[in-house]
Amino acid sequence: MTATSPRRRALKVSSIALGLALALSAPAGAADLVISNWDGYMAPDAMAAFKAATGVSGEVVVHATNEEIMGKLIAAGGKGYDVVFVSSPFAEVLNKLGLTEPMDHAKIPNLANLYPEATKLPHDVGNNFSVPYTWGTTGLCYRSDLVKVAPTSWSDLLAPSDALKGKTTMLATDRWLLAAGQLDKGFSVNETDPAKMAEVKNLLISAKKTLLAYDDTTFYSKLVSGEALMVQAWDGWCNYGISEKPEIKYVIPKEGSDLWVDTMVVMKASEHKDDAFKFINFMLDAKNHAWAAQNIDYKVPNKPAMESLPADFLVKFPNMAMPVADLVKFEQLRDVGEAQRDYSKIVSEIKAAQ
């Protein structure tokens, strides 16, 4: 679902970049585990702490997009990696291809830290082949000091006022770009009906004429500078903007959002499955999981981790305090099977349109 990195992963602090660089400098083959993750998506000292706790060493390999790591996994039959971080529709695909190892719950006792709702997500009820790591929403991020009327609808982005024309951006990634149009039309974010998808395409071609850019990675910076005034954004990335400029606000349009979920999966081809389960259990430790919430500004599906967040952090980033019951009301992006080709074709036509 990513043309470029979805939501991921601007580094919030320079020490994270340093930590990843050190992790990546480990000699190939020297580690017991090979973890593939997005840049800056776990604590820089996570692997050192994991080794101290378990005696198992690990090497982190960074992937930029879901598509990038999926290509490698499918080409190699999953060999070369033990634990992989991917978004939920891609975890579904890996499972359908027989590349994921069933989760051994007895070896992951920290699964008990998950909210009950996180154990019943539609893409994997019971966490049989994946464990959620972060989750959130997609909405509108805007400059409250420069936009006269606060947005309430996807139409505010797709058919903007004259004052906003040329000052808006949309996500470039296929699934989220289409989701904005699907939600505006009142359709499922997994809609595949050709007639309905033609309506979505026409709407997004029309919206393209008003856009500043398709942008997955720098839209919050454009908001901070004032180059953009309203953007389609993942909640966590909007938080990056809020941290630099409090006048930036995030809102979920009245038509709704998708529920995005990033997951951890163990590869069936892994030769270190027990250690892979130890790693997932380590990441689900409340203290370790709270790091993700406080440093990448995404909600995590870990009840004690979320309950440990400082009150002022939740005040600064109101979307972090969203009740879980409200979050899981939104529809998850799912693997749409063969329809993904149609999705990609539609997005290509949208981006090529004049």
Q: Read off the pLDDT of residues 126-165 as tens digits, 9 standing for 90 and up.
A: 999 999 999 999 999 999 999 999 999 999 999 999 999 9
| Strand pairing report for 83-87 and 258-266 | antiparallel
In 3D, which of 7, 65, 334, 38 has the Cα closest to residue 175? 334
Phi, psi angle pair for 280, to nearest 5°: -65, -40
Burial 327-336 (b: 16+ CB within 10 A, else e): bbebbbbbbb
End-to-end alpha carbon distance in the chain? 24
Cα gap 180→187, rounded to integer Å: 10
CB 242 within 8 A of CB 148: no
Low-confidence ranges of the chain (pLDDT < 50): 1-28
Residue 73: what pLDDT? 96
Q: At what angle do helices 174-184 and 194-208 cross, to 10 degrees?
A: 100
| Strand pairing report for 213-214 and 168-170 | parallel
Cα gap 5→348, rounded to integer Å: 18
CB 306 within 8 A of CB 321: no
The neighbouring-strand residues paired with 85 are: 264
Q: At what angle do helices 66-75 and 88-96 cross, to 10 degrees?
A: 10
pTM for the model stands at 0.89
CATH code for the domain defined by 33-135+260-323: 3.40.190.10
DSSP 185-227: TT--TT---HHHHHHHHHHHHHHHTT-SEE-SSSHHHHHHHTS
The neighbouring-strand residues paired with 230 are: 142, 168
Each residue of 322-348: pLDDT tens digit? 999 999 999 999 999 999 999 999 999
Residue 110: what pLDDT? 98
228 Rama class: left (phi>0) / alpha (psi -120 to 50) / beta: beta
Residue 262: what pLDDT? 96
Cα gap 214→208, rounded to integer Å: 9
Residue 30: what pLDDT? 55
Domain 136-258+334-352 CATH (choose: 3.90.1300.10, 3.40.190.10, 3.40.50.300, 1.10.1240.10) = 3.40.190.10
CB 46 within 8 A of CB 288: yes
Q: Which long-range contacts (CB under 8 A, 24 or more apart) does 185-188 make?
A: 186/255, 188/331
Residue 31: what pLDDT? 66
CB 335 within 8 A of CB 92: yes
Q: Could you tell me where in the chain the CATH 3.40.190.10 domains are found? A: 33-135+260-323, 136-258+334-352
User: What DSSP state is assigned to residue 336?
Assistant: -
Degrees, nearest 5: CA angle 184-187-188: 120
Residue 26: what pLDDT? 37
Cα gap 19→30, rounded to integer Å: 18
Cα gap 276→33, rounded to integer Å: 7
Cβ-Cβ contacts under 8 Å for 189 (sequence gap 6 or more):
175, 178, 179, 182, 183, 258, 331, 333
CA dihedral 195, 173, 139, 15 (to 10 degrees): 170
**Tokens of residue 238, six digits:** 């909007």
